[in-house]
Each structure stands twice: as C-alpha cells, then as structure tokens.
Structure 1
Amino acid sequence: MAEDKVNYAFVKGDPTVSPLLLLHGQGGDENDLLPIGKYLSPNSPMLSIRGRVQEQGMNRYFKHTENGGFDLNDLEQETTWLFSVLNDLCRKFDINYERFIVIGYSNGANVAARALLTRSDTFHTGIFFHPMALSTVDSKQDLSDVKVWMSHGDQDPIVPAQNFKVLDMYLEEQGADVTIFRHGQSHNLNEEELTNAKSWLAKSGRLADWRRR
C-alpha cells in the first residue's frame, strides 16, 4: 500500500472539528508544521505527510529539472502518489476526506494549489503560505465551493509578485473565493501572517463544515 512508503505524523483531535492536512516546505518534514497547525486550529485532528523526493538532501514533493525549472511530469506523478497516500490514511484514521483544511508552506503550498487547479478529487479549504504558479493551467475546475487564504512577501526572492498574481487569477477564474495577505518581509513565515490566517480560518465557517460559506 502507498501508506507503507510514507513518513507521516497524525495527531488526534476533536472529530467534530475539521481536520488539517499539513504540507511542509522544501527541506522540511512531517513535524515542521505541527506547531503551526496547532496554533491555527487547536482542536483539529492533524495529518502531516512528508514529500518523498530528495534533492541535495532536502525533502520535497516533486523534482526540479536539470535547468532548475519544475519537472511537471514528476509533479503529476508525485501528486498522484500523495493523494493515494492521503486516501489510505483517511481510511486508517477514519477521516472525512472532504473536510480537510490544507495548510501548505512554499513547496507544499505549491502542490496544494496546483492540485486545486488540475484535479477534481481535491479539497475545499486551503491556507497557502508563499505559494506560486508552477506553470500555465489549461484545465477548468469548478472551484465555486473553495475558500483559500494566501500570503505573499513583498521582498520574496523566490515568488515574484507577478507569479503570485497569476496564481490568484487562476484560482479566481475558476470560481474560488480567495483572500490575499501581503507583508513587507521575504519568504519567511512571520507572526503577522499567522495571526491573520488564524483569524480568517476562525471566521470562514470551515472548521465546522466546508459547505457553510
């Protein structure tokens, strides 16, 4: 089973509160975002899955190409693997897949955002710290039931402002309700954006039921 090939962490919580799926940034692991998940929603069950790709000793969710671009074929393959693992673990821990709130940072946020734009079997709520558009998007999804919060730093050397704007455009064109939080820092997480994300999540209605808008 896919589950046997993955490193993950599961933290029990209140089953009446929506669970969190945590996807780390480059070089992270399944433990990195647990404190952030606990801060954002203290009572949620939490599932964190480590990316199985390694580049220069750093964990990732998909490969780069030799020239430093994104390997989109590998991205598709690894995303399929990730969702297979996720379904296995949902059965193991009796989690309602549709209730997940996905918390992603950088590389993990990129995978989550891309999945929203290209897959029908994804999720309905996301908090994406410093995501970027990985390529053009040709497929059309109905994201009218999706709520997303995304952050971007004005001094971010990894995610250009125009790229972030394109990702926002893709999501909104397909019907997603997108909230943007900008700050003057870099690619780092900071207290200001974590506080804003927590406030947004509390007001979103999605901690109880994703269908409540």
Structure 2
Amino acid sequence: MTMLAYHARTKPPEGAAPLIFAFHGTGGDEHQFFAFAQELVPGAGVVSPRGDVSEGLAARFFRRTAEGVYDMADLARATERMAGFIAAWKAEHPDRPVYGFGYSNGANILASVVMRHPELFDRVGLLHPLIPWEPDPAPGLAGTRVLITAGHRDPICPWPMTERLETWMRQQGADLRLVAHEGGHELRREEALALAALFETRPDAEAA
C-alpha cells in the first residue's frame, strides 16, 4: 500500500512534531477535521483521508447493511487498506510520534486498525465509536494512550456498547480515559478538550 491509497488532505510536520491522522464521520470528508488537527498540536503533520466508500452521497470508510450493522468483509478490506496507507506515511516520516483520532465512522475504522495493528499509533482518540463485534485480543495495545468519548443518550452508539469497548481496551492494558456527556451523538467542548489533553506534548504533560 502507498501514501496515495486514499485521497487525502495533508500537511508535513514541522521539526520533531508528531504526525496526526484525522478520520471524518459519515458524510464528512478530508476537510472536516483538518484545521482542528492543526489546532490540537501546532506544527504537527496532518493526514486526513477521505473514505473510499459512498453511501448515497455520503463518504464512509467501509460499507454497512443497516445502522450499526457492518459489512464485516468490507471492514476487513478497509482495515488492511488503511493500515497500509498509515504505514506508508509512517515510513515517510520515521522516528516521530504518530497520533490518530476519528469521529463516528472515522472512530470505527481507526479502532479496527488499532485492534489489528496496534504498533501503528502512540496515542488514539475515538470519538463516539461503535464496535458491535467481539475483537480478538490485542496485547500490543498495552501502554498505548487511548481516549474514548461518548454520549450517554447517543442513539447511534448506545452506552452499553461504549462500556463494552472500555472494558476490552482496559483488558488489553491500554492507558485509557473515558469522557462522556449527557447528550447524544454530537461532539461537545469537553470532548475537544480531552482530545487536546491526550495530544499535549509539553514535557510536564508527558511526566503526568
């Protein structure tokens, strides 16, 4: 797989700044979180790919047959395609931290990649993920800093599913933080602040 596997909006990293991958939600595109990623870590490199599946006119990273019902064969295809894409970018920018975050469908493809290839990321932000399958063990996630955000009344990503993902991540040894609000599927300020804290690169933050 190559750096051209997905249409993407990109920005090279400055100095020793990390490389951040940003994954849009259903109906979003490579612009949805591009500026936000730069705000999270000024100077960071940003890779924001566009999903290669169309649901109606809405871009997604893998197919589904109904709300919350995934085409698992296509998810497997998309996971390996995305993993190869990420690996190619990592090889182009070696010896620097690699962070990733995604919202909704973007969180789902990111989670699937991390579950299969935990070595690709140092820090991961999953904003309103929905993982309806039972993942295989991923001991390589031990020590990886992971943020999960959710809404207690999210009709798309039910709270019990979030709790199940939280339990699984902790069982793998991930350094996990869960941030939840009382709303639904919308992104709220506290989620953005938690993601910024996850990606904080100051020495005192690293030591905390």
* 1:113 to 2:82 alignment: no
Q: How many residues align?
A: 207
Q: Which amino acid in 2 is paired with 1:37?
A: A
Shift of 1:204: 8.3
Shift of 1:42: 1.8
Shift of 1:73: 1.1
* 1:197 to 2:195 alignment: yes
| Map of 1:80 onto structure 2 | 80
Superposition RMSD in Å: 2.5
1:128-187: CA deviation from partner (whole Å, max 9, x where unpaired): 111122301233433113110111112211011100001111111011011011112221
8 Å Cα contact 1:117-1:171 kept in structure 2: no
Q: 1:103 to 1:2 in 2, by over 3 A?
A: same
Structure 2: gaps (5+ residues) = none
1:26-47: CA deviation from partner (whole Å, max 9, x where unpaired): 1111111112212211221111
Shift of 1:84: 1.9
8 Å Cα contact 1:155-1:184 kept in structure 2: yes
1:76-100: CA deviation from partner (whole Å, max 9, x where unpaired): 1111111222233444xx3138721
- Identity level (%): 25
Instruction: Return structure 1 stretches of 4+ with deviation > 6 angstroms.
Output: none
Q: 1:127 to 1:204 in 2, by over 3 A?
A: farther
Structure 1: gaps (5+ residues) = none
Q: Which amino acid in 2 is paired with 1:75?
A: L
Q: How does 1:141-180 map to 2 (within 5 A)?
A: 141-180=139-178
| Map of 1:23 onto structure 2 | 23
Q: 1:140 to 1:58 in 2, by over 3 A?
A: same
Q: 1:67 to 1:147 in 2, by over 3 A?
A: closer
- Report the TM-score, using the length of structure 1 for normalisation: 0.86
Higher strand share: 2
8 Å Cα contact 1:15-1:45 kept in structure 2: no
8 Å Cα contact 2:24-2:33 kept in structure 1: yes
